[in-house]
Structure 1
């Protein structure tokens, strides 16, 4: 479970890692696929990340998103409460959405959870006689839901915010790997417990008395180069190095 949570937070800071994170979640609960669906302020839905074929994602965006009664029902419910595909999908097998998109993509069952006001997480599975949403699977998805919410929030806020998301420190504290957030002058804005342990060894990097991250002389040039690459995407990013 801890390795799966770590992959979720890694995806929050690097969108290209979401497929790896989703794969870890689905392996954990025995799902065959699924994804993350977001609804914008205008009510338009889009698949933010998934294990689906690109064609299925495009078809959803072009035609089937407004017909998605499953996500509509999830969005009308409480945040963080997993719902069974047997309850959401099976009563509506006579719809166009089910016949032409759900069934063709083997999403006849699953577990669906609203992770925040505009985001639904889907653990999909083909339909079988017994519902996919066992007590153990529901418990696992419920446990992962707040981590998904924080990771998605981190991704949404990384671009364009001048201050750290208030949920970021507690989220990154759960990550086993060292994470530091630096200002452009190498002042340490945040360090999770793993980072404190790493720099506490003072065998390459250390935090000096003024709160700046410094390197041994032979590594200093490499450190300064790495800490200023890539170029900032926004004005707020210019003041921070991840």
Structure 2
């Protein structure tokens, strides 16, 4: 922390940028990492601090670069996206360089002043000079580009280079944060999609029972208002004693015991309709300060489809049918009578089922088949 503070102060001193301005700039960069729509504001802050006439955050998409955010003239951004992104030798060279290295216009633009990219795009838009930084590893890195017209004095003055050296570590960290958040969003979306396919009710609630999210099975349970319902955005149980048990279980899952250990609890929830009670499992959630409620409705009598068992465990049609009878509690003799086959044939089928599912006893097989129904 001390080293970072010294580096920060040295860069501020060398660049003649006030601590207040630099702090505001860094804040804008980290805000943009969490909210990509704020990158234009961050680019304007960089422009205000470093100078230049235009700037952009670009991402490498295979053989060309695409603009994620920019403060470019509209016609310049449009022509770049439709044509000149394919001929941008400046960023191609940046991509081949090291992450975090500040590259200059004198280095990357001046030697190519006779190229089509320079004469047709850079020069007409007065983007003849600038500073460029690669912000990430991999085949699709981002790059920060700050452009300036070609002036008598090169754009890479000691003051600007010092300001950029102070900013680059924050840009690199912001880029990683943005990628991590994007990956987390993808994971969360995948998880939400997977939860949506589960037949049982899944609720995520906060410490005050307020509903955060739920799947379609949970919606169905709440619509029925048969033991569990939603009151003032809170999940509550109709029976007072069950509601007290629900509150206690949520508290244990969210805040844990006095020593901070979070726990899981299970109980049954009575239903005014007289149907078999819900089985409620309350667990700590993957989201902070929330609990996960898994509500199983025994009245639905879930049954894995024969096609699903065949696909999951490579069972034959008959083996899958035998497996379903086993799950429903039928013994070997009853299955033989139902299928009109010998006891030896049923035992052979059961042994094949054990082998293919990795189970060894009937109770173990039944448990596995019930899990498959989730």
> TM-score under structure 2 normalisation?
0.43
Q: Could you tell me how far 1:239 is from its partner in structure 2?
A: 4.5
Q: Could you tell me how far 1:142 is from its partner in structure 2?
A: 2.0
Match status 1:210 vs 2:230? no
What is the match of residue 63 of structure 1?
Answer: 83
Q: Could you tell me how far 1:73 is from its partner in structure 2?
A: 0.9
When you count helix as a share of all residues, which structure comes out higher? 2
Structure 2 unaligned residues grouped into runs of 5+: 1-21, 188-203, 209-253, 257-285, 290-374
Which is greater in Rg? 2
Q: Could you tell me how far 1:138 is from its partner in structure 2?
A: 1.2
Q: Could you tell me how far 1:159 is from its partner in structure 2?
A: 3.3
What is the match of residue 298 of structure 2?
Answer: none
Aligned to 1:11, which of 18, 26, 32? Answer: 32
SS where residue 91 of structure 1 aligns? Answer: helix
What is the match of residue 42 of structure 2?
Answer: 21
Match status 1:94 vs 2:114? yes
Alignment RMSD (CA, Å):
2.8
Q: Could you tell me how far 1:240 is from its partner in structure 2?
A: 7.1
SS where residue 94 of structure 1 aligns? Answer: coil
Structure 1 unaligned residues grouped into runs of 5+: 165-182, 188-208, 212-237
Q: State the distance in 2 between where 1:83 and 1:100 align.
A: 22
Q: Could you tell me how far 1:55 is from its partner in structure 2?
A: 2.8
Deviation beyond 4 Å, 4+ runs, structure 1:
238-241
Residue by residue over 1:126-173, the C-alpha shift from the partner in whole angstroms, topping out at 9 and shown as x without a partner, is 111111101221121122112112223323332342699xxxxxxxxx
Match status 1:105 vs 2:147? no
Map residues 45-84 of structure 1 onto 2, 5 A cutoff.
45-84=65-104
Q: Could you tell me how far 1:47 is from its partner in structure 2?
A: 1.1
Are the counterparts in 1 of residues 105 and 130 from structure 2 also a CA contact under 8 Å? yes
Residue by residue over 1:13-60, the C-alpha shift from the partner in whole angstroms, topping out at 9 and shown as x without a partner, is 1122111111111111122211111103x3331011110123322211
Q: Could you tell me how far 1:11 is from its partner in structure 2?
A: 0.8
> TM-score under structure 1 normalisation?
0.65
| 1:112–1:239 Cα change, 3 Å | same
Q: State the distance in 1 between where 2:114 and 2:84 align.
A: 15
Residue by residue over 1:65-124, the C-alpha shift from the partner in whole angstroms, topping out at 9 and shown as x without a partner, is 121110011111111111110121111111111111111221111111112121111111
